A and B are shown apart, each in its own frame.
Chain A
Amino acid sequence: MTSVAYDRPSGDFKTSYAADTTIFPTRTSAAFCVAGIALVAAAPLYLDKYGLSILIQIGYLGIAALGLNILVGFTGQISIGHAVFFGFGAFASAYLNNNFGVPVFFAIPLAGLATTVVGLVFGIPAARLKGLYLAIATLAAQFILQDFFARASWFTGGVAGTPAESLTIFGYAFNTDARYLYVVLAYVVIMYLLATNLMRTRDGRALVAVRDHYLSAEMMGVNLTKYRTMSFGISSFYAGVGGALYAHYLGFVSVEGFTILFSIQFLAMIIIGGLGSIMGTLMGTAFMVLLPEAMTALAGQLAGSPIDRALGLNEGIAFLREMAIGAVIILFLIFEPDGLAHRWRQIRAYFKLYPFSY
């Protein structure tokens, strides 16, 4: 389930530790990554504003979803409150920038750190709890922090929300979609590289061990409390950075957006992408961002047709989107529990082994 590449020749022929811990198992996979980054970097040339805004959304949501995947997919600790950490990052970054004049460039990582602290506070139960007990604790975190956002108007601006300035480096403002895309892209590359590297270290492997068999892990000398709490902290850090990027992209943060439905959307992203798959996280995020857009487009196509009149598709589009989120979670878990990452590996394997794919 981890970053094991399935397209190696049959068997594992590595002869050195360096080969075992490499980021890219083959030269082709490295080339694919570079090509993908180049493609996104060139996006302002061939995409309009709408396409760019979707790319940016995928970027910042993908960062936060990666944090959740580290917690859920790699460490096996479920969290149903990811959206509030995302929101906390957004508010923290705007707050630091508005009230202390911290430049946005520094406010984004600082917001990540602030969110880490909050995440660790709510992660204290994680030290003792596991599985469903932890899920319930994060559910409580969701409601407590949501209430805090509505209450703490010094921090969030209360009902009015809070403005967030755009990122400026040496007088160059990243205030359009085409410019901000590069900020998000840089963060995505850095954060995804960090996560990939994390999984190659002792700590990363300890996380996976905690997930796979925590009793054995503990006997092998893995400190359960430390790693459970740590993965909570890392996940919050990612959520905070993602949230901060979101704040400075929209220029405004409202207290209402960070509901439990948003948290569930994050869960849906990593389920669809594949639990415990780093690249899968990005695929799942893209899927979840494009799904509502596709549904709106479909409903727009059907507008005025008998189906639309009978079912009221366009009036109920908000609910249809929610239903779609629920439905894809259920369908993926039943029919494709390893997510898009698994499907992608199968497609790759098919072409690699063609025509002898058995």
Chain B
Amino acid sequence: MDTQLLLQLLLNGLIVGALYGVVAMCFVLIYKASQVVNFAQGEFLLVGAWVCWWLLTTYPLPFYAAFLITLAFMMAFGLLLQVVVLRPLIGEPVISVIMVTIGLSIFFQALMKWMFGVFAKPFPPIFASQTVDVLGLQVQTVYVMSLAVSVLIMVGFAWFFKFSRMGLAMRAVAFDQQAAQSLGVSVRTVFALSWGISAMVSAVAGVVVGVVNGVSSALSFFGIKVFPAVILGGLDSIVGAVIGGIIVGLLENIAHYFDSQFLHWGNLYEVAPFYVLIVILMIWPYGLFGTKDIERV
């Protein structure tokens, strides 16, 4: 047993898991507000990271300025996507809506590859010191930042949905669309805004991952990894998404640990979450916190 490695991997798992949690939260936000299963969630990360990277490398902007412009851009991007592509499909069967998001996903993935190439490009360095000391472990500063950002986003979400007027309106729409509408909540705005916020927050996660690992099309794989997380947590639970994300992150790294130490199968890191996904779907399809569908006739 290599305890040092295990600890390192667990920490990694926690950090990556927190990011999965953030992305899963954004996924659930869209699902709850507009009942759309968004297969293009990963592309929000991808587009956001590339935009930020492009701003930083093309114009000598300070990081915070580029970051803020990225956020504004992604907000607009999400809104536009909802209004142009998703709005015409309201009321269409689930299959059509899912397929449109799949179409969006490969469209933007290919567009980004076309515009920026297939190779990973590193962000310009942002922090002065590369590593900090946490409880005797050498941890890269970007990892600490990543964890901090994730927690900050989660707290922000909690505040937004508990106290802000718009957040309450969104929860009302998620709870009962007709009742919310009859009480004067604009469902159209809520739909569009949920996409905008989701795109924006995903882009934050995208930028964070980009700073840590460099920007490449691998970022869009986050959008796929979200599915084990949300199914584990329950499709319509924001808390479940966060917990599911962290569990999936830890699980990946534990699988990787066992793989490298004992099994030597290789590639278990990538596939383990999907095995778990199948098992959960078979025995427990509504996850930890999801609401059970009850059929009424």
Which residues of A pack against B, CB within 8 Å?
72, 76, 78, 80, 122, 124-125, 128-129, 131-133, 135-137, 139-141, 143-144, 147, 150-151, 215, 260-261, 264, 267-268, 271, 275, 312, 316, 319-323, 325-330, 333-334, 337
Contacts and interface: CB of A to CB of B under 8 A. Distances in A.
Contact of B99 (A136, A147, A261, A333): A333
A330 B281 contact: no
B274 A144 contact: yes
B281 A137 contact: yes
A128 B282 CA distance: 7
Contacts of A328: 103
B158 to A, nearest CB: 26
Contacts of B37: 132, 135
A323 B110 contact: yes
B100 A329 contact: yes
Tell me if B's interface is mostly helix, strand, loop or mixed.
helix
A312 B108 CA distance: 17
Contact of B95 (A76, A260, A325): A76
Interface string B201-233: 000000000000000000000001001100100
Contacts of B275: 140, 144
Contacts of A132: 37, 94, 98, 235
Interface stretch (B63-71, B130-138, B145-153, B262-270): B262-270
Contact residues on B (Cβ < 8 Å of other chain), bracket:
35 or more
Nearest to A215: B297
Tell me if A's interface is mostly helix, strand, loop or mixed.
helix
A122 B179 CA distance: 40
Interface in B12-47: 37
Contacts of A320: 110, 114
B72 interface: no
6 contacts: A128-B282, A140-B228, A320-B114, A326-B107, A330-B85, A337-B92
Given A78-B98, A329-B99, A333-B99, A322 B110 contact: yes
B225 to A, nearest CB: 10
Which 9 residue pairs are nearest across A and B when measured between Cβ atoms?
A326-B107, A329-B103, A322-B110, A319-B114, A140-B274, A326-B106, A330-B103, A323-B110, A316-B114
